Each structure stands twice: as C-alpha cells, then as structure tokens.
Amino acid sequence: MAERKKLLLRLDPEVYAALARWAADDLRSINAQIEYALRQALRQAGRTPK
C-alpha cells in the first residue's frame, strides 16, 4: 500500500463536533470518517481514485 499523506486541516468547531458525532455513530475515528466522507464525495462527483 502506498504511503499515506499527512495534512493539517483546520475545521470550524461546529463542523468538527458534527463529524465527531457521525464518526461515533459509525464506530470510526474522526480521521477515518473524514476520509470516508471525502471518498463518498469523490464517487458522487465521478472522480473515484484508481
């Protein structure tokens, strides 16, 4: 598997709290939930990575 990229992400506290609740509901970490949401958005936009 390719090396994972690291990045700094600044979020509005309310967005972070909503992501934290969503992640907890799905039994994921916040990081995994952000990646899930990004992959879902890429699929919807027809830009799924290979």
Which tokens in the block code for residue 9?
């992400």
Q: How confident is the model at residue 2 (pLDDT cuts 50, 70, 90)?
A: confident
The reported pLDDT for the residue numbered 9 is 95
pLDDT at 1 over 90: no
Amino acid at position 25, single letter: D
DSSP string, 1-50: -PPPP-------HHHHHHHHHHHHHTT--HHHHHHHHHHHHHHHTT----
Question: pTM of the entire structure?
Answer: 0.84
In tens, the pLDDT along 4-46 reads: 899 999 999 999 999 999 999 999 999 999 999 999 999 999 9
